[in-house]
C-alpha cells in the first residue's frame, strides 16, 4: 500500500481521532470562512440589498455543495473500507472511477444551473430588489461547478486514505485567493455581489489546479493522465449505492433550509439578510460537529473494513464527547449575546434585531448536532447510508418544514419561532439514531 495511506484501525483511538479531526476542523473552518468573507466584505462595502442577494445566492449554491458532499461520501467510505481490508487494486479502481464520474456530473450540473437558476430563485421567494444580483451571483458561481466537484472529489479520496492534511492545504489556497479577490473586486472595483461571485469561482479554480499539480508530484494512486480516467462498473455501482443516499439526505436537508429561506424572504430584505448572516455563523458553530462527523466516517469505515465494529463504536462516542464540549461555547454565545454575532457582519440595527430573534432558540441546535452529525457520520462510515438518508429526510420533511410553516404564521414577522423549528427536528433525528445504533445492523461489512 502507498505510504500516503494512514491506517486508522490500529493504535490509540483518541490520538487517531484528534490527529484526523483537527485538519478536518481546519479545512471546514477555512471553507466556511470562505463564504463568510464574501458576505462580510459585501456587507461593509455595499448595502442590505447586496447582502440579501449574496445570502440567497449562497444558499442556492450551498444546495449544490450538499449534493456534491453526499456523492463524495461514497468514495470516502469505499476507499477507507478497501484500505482497512488491504485491497490496494480496489482502491486504485475506486479512485479512477470517482474522478471520471465527477467530471461527467460536473458537466450535467453546470447545464442544469444555467437553465434553471431563475426558476429556483423565484421558487424560494427571493426579494424583488435582490433578484437581479442574486441571479448574477448564482450564474457566475455555476461557471465554477467543475472546480467545486474537482476539489471535493480529490478531498474525499484523500480522507478515505486517512490523509486529512492535504485538503487543508488546498482549501487554504482557495480561501486566501478569495479574500484577496474579494477586496479587489468588491472593495476596490465596486462590483458588489457579482464581484464576490467572481472571487469565489476564480479562487476555486486556482485551488484545484494547484492541488492536481501537487498530487502529481507525490506518490499518489492516480496520475491524472487522460487514459487513467475510466469507469469500473462494479465500483461505480458501489459508489452510487453508498453516495446517493447521503447526497439525497444532504440535498433534502438543504432544500428544507431553502424552504425556511423562502418563508423568511416573504418578510422582506431585512429578515433575509438576518437569516443569511445567522446561517454563516451556524457554519462556524457546527464546525466541531462536522469535523468529528468527517473524522468518524473514515475511522469507522477503516475499522469496519478491518472487522473491528466495537472499536468503531467506541470511536463514535469519543467523537460525540469532543464535539459536544466544543459546541457548548457557541451555544452560550448565541444564547447570551446574539447581537455581538450579528455586528460582526453588519451595523444595521434592524438586521441585528431580526438575527437575535432567530438565534434565541436556533442556538440549541449547536448542541444537538454534536449527537446528530456525529452519529450520521458513523453510520455513513459503516456504509449504512440508507438509514442516515431516511432519518435525515424524515426529520426535514415531517418536522422541520411543517413546524417552520406553522411558527411563521403564528408569529408573523418574528423569527423566534422559525429558529425553534430547527433544533426540534434535530432532536427527533437523534432519538431515531440512538434506536438504530442499539439494533446493531451497522456492524456488517459491505465489501
pLDDT score of 447: 60
With contact defined as beta carbons under 8 Å apart, do 84 and 304 qualify?
Answer: yes
Cα distances from 413 to residues 257, 269, 273, 289, in angstroms, run: 18, 12, 14, 31
pLDDT score of 3: 44
pLDDT category of residue 324 using cuts at 50, 70 and 90 = very high
Please indicate whether residue 354 or residue 445 has the higher confidence score (pLDDT). Answer: 354
Identify whether 311 is part of a domain. yes
Helix (H, G, I), strand (E, B) or coil at 191: coil
| Average pLDDT estimate for 188-214 | 84
pLDDT category of residue 100 using cuts at 50, 70 and 90 = very high
Identify whether 325 is part of a domain. yes
Grid coordinates given for 325: 464540549
pLDDT score of 189: 84
Q: What mean pLDDT, rounded, does the chain reach?
A: 84
pLDDT score of 273: 83
**What whole-number distance in Å separates Cα of residue 224 and Cα of residue 239?**
20
DSSP string, 345-406: T---HHHHHHHHHHHHHHTTHHHHHHHHHHHHHHHHHTT-HHHHHHHHHHHIIIIIHHHHHH
| Average pLDDT estimate for 225-236 | 87
pLDDT score of 1: 45
| Average pLDDT estimate for 41-51 | 74
pLDDT score of 337: 93
DSSP string, 301-347: HHHHHTT-HHHHHHHHHHHHHHHHHHHHHHHHHHHH-HHHHHTTT--
Grid coordinates given for 175: 480561501
6-15, 208-217, 393-402: which has the minimum mean pLDDT?
Answer: 6-15
- Scanning 183-232, the segments in alpha helix (DSSP H) are 192-216
53-67, 150-164, 347-361, 426-440: which has the minimum mean pLDDT?
Answer: 53-67
Which residues lie below 8 Å from residue 154, measured CB to CB, with a gap of 6+? 167, 170, 208, 211, 212, 215
| Torsion of the alpha carbons at 293, 154, 81 and 253, rounded to the nearest 10 | 40
**What whole-number distance in Å separates Cα of residue 171 and Cα of residue 2?**
24
Identify whether 4 is part of a domain. no
Cα distances from 348 to residues 31, 34, 40, 279, 352, in angstroms, run: 26, 23, 13, 17, 6
With contact defined as beta carbons under 8 Å apart, do 15 and 295 qualify?
Answer: no
Grid coordinates given for 375: 452519529
Q: In 3D, which of 200, 199, 170, 228 has the Cα closest to residue 65?
A: 200
4-18, 195-209, 303-317, 358-372: which has the minimum mean pLDDT?
Answer: 4-18
| Average pLDDT estimate for 139-145 | 88
With 0-12 / 13-18 / 19 or more C-beta atoms within 10 angstroms meaning exposed / middle / buried, residue 353 is: middle
| Average pLDDT estimate for 386-398 | 88
Identify whether 167 is part of a domain. yes
With contact defined as beta carbons under 8 Å apart, do 122 and 73 qualify?
Answer: no
Identify whether 3 is part of a domain. no
Q: How many CB atoms lie within 10 A of CB 307?
A: 12
- Scanning 183-286, the segments in alpha helix (DSSP H) are 192-216, 233-265, 269-285
Q: In 3D, which of 83, 84, 218, 201 has the Cα closest to residue 150?
A: 201
Identify whether 7 is part of a domain. no
Whether the predicted pLDDT of 218 surpasses 90: no
With contact defined as beta carbons under 8 Å apart, do 54 and 193 qualify?
Answer: yes
pLDDT score of 367: 94
| Average pLDDT estimate for 400-413 | 85
Give me the number of domains the chain comprises. 1
Identify whether 307 is part of a domain. yes
- Find how far residue 75's CA is from the centre of its chain: 16
**What whole-number distance in Å separates Cα of residue 106 and Cα of residue 68?**
9
Give the tens place of pLDDT for each residue, 145-164: 898 888 888 888 888 887 87
pLDDT score of 2: 47
Whether the predicted pLDDT of 179 surpasses 70: yes
Whether the predicted pLDDT of 372 surpasses 90: yes
Give the tens place of pLDDT for each residue, 253-291: 777 877 887 888 888 888 888 888 888 788 788 888 988
| Average pLDDT estimate for 30-50 | 73
| Average pLDDT estimate for 371-380 | 92
Max CA-CA distance within the chain?
Answer: 60
Residue 128 is classified by DSSP as G
In terms of residue numbers, what domain contains 347? 13-443
pLDDT category of residue 366 using cuts at 50, 70 and 90 = very high
pLDDT score of 29: 80
Report CA torsion sign: 206, 207, 212, 216.
Answer: positive
Identify whether 5 is part of a domain. no
Amino acid at each position: 500500500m502507498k505510504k500516503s495511506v494512514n491506517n486508522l484501525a490500529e493504535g490509540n483511538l483518541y490520538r487517531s481521532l484528534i490527529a484526523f479531526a483537527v485538519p478536518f476542523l481546519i479545512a471546514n473552518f477555512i471553507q466556511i470562512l470562505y463564504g463568510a468573507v464574501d458576505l462580510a466584505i459585501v456587507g461593509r462595502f455595499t448595502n442590505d440589498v447586496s447582502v440579501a442577494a449574496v445570502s440567497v445566492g449562497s444558499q442556492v449554491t450551498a444546495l449544490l455543495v450538499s449534493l456534491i458532499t453526499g456523492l463524495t461520501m461514497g468514495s470516502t467510505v469505499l476507499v477507507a473500507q478497501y484500505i482497512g481490508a488491504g485491497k490496494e487494486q480496489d482502491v486504485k479502481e475506486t479512485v479512477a472511477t470517482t474522478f471520471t464520474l465527477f467530471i461527467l456530473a460536473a458537466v450535467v450540473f453546470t447545464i442544469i444551473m444555467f437553465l434553471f437558476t431563475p426558476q429556483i430563485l423565484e421558487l424560494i421567494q427571493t426579494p424583488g430588489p435582490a433578484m437581479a444580483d442574486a441571479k448574477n451571483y448564482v450564474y457566475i458561481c455555476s461557471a465554477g461547478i467543475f472546480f467545486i466537484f474537482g476539489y471535493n472529489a480529490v478531498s474525499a479520496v484523500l480522507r478515505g486514505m486517512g490523509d486529512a492534511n492535504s485538503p487543508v492545504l488546498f482549501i487554504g489556497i482557495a480561501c486566501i485567493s478569495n479574500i484577496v479577490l474579494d477586496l479587489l473586486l468588491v472593495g476596490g472595483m465596486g462590483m458588489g455581489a457579482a464581484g464576490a461571485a467572481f472571487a469565489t469561482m476564480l479562487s476555486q479554480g486556482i485551488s484545484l489546479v494547484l492541488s492536481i499539480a501537487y498530487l502529481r508530484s507525490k506518490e499518489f494512486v492516480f496520475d491524472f493522465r487522460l487514459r487513467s480516467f475510466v469507469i469500473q462498473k462494479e465500483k461505480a455501482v458501489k459508489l452510487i449505492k453508498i453516495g446517493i443516499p447521503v447526497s439525497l439526505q444532504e440535498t433534502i436537508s438543504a432544500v428544507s433550509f431553502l424552504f425556511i429561506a423562502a418563508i423568511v424572504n416573504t418578510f422582506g430584505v431585512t429578515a433575509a439578510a438576518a437569516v443569511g448572516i445567522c446561517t454563516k455563523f451556524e457554519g462556524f458553530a457546527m464546525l466541531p460537529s462536522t469535523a468529528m462527523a468527517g473524522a468518524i466516517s473514515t475511522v469507522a469505515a477503516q475499522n469496519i473494513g478491518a472487522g473491528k465494529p466495537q472499536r468503531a463504536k467506541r470511536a463514535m462516542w469519543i467523537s460525540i464527547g469532543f464535539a459536544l464540549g466544543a459546541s457548548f461555547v457557541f451555544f452560550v454565545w448565541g444564547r447570551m449575546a446574539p447581537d455581538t454575532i450579528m455586528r460582526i457582519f453588519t451595523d444595521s440595527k434592524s438586521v441585528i434585531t431580526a438575527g437575535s430573534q432567530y438565534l434565541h432558540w436556533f442556538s440549541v441546535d449547536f448542541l444537538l448536532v454534536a449527537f446528530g452529525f456525529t452519529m450520521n457520520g458513523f453510520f455513513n462510515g459503516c456504509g449504512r447510508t440508507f438509514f442516515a438518508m431516511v432519518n435525515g429526510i424524515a426529520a426535514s420533511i415531517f418536522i422541520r418544514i411543517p413546524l417552520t410553516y406553522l411558527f411563521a404564521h403564528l408569529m408573523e414577522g418574528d423569527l423566534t419561532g422559525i429558529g425553534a423549528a430547527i433544533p426540534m427536528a434535530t432532536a427527533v433525528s437523534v432519538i431515531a439514531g440512538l434506536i438504530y445504533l442499539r439494533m446493531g445492523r451497522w456492524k456488517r461489512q459491505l465489501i
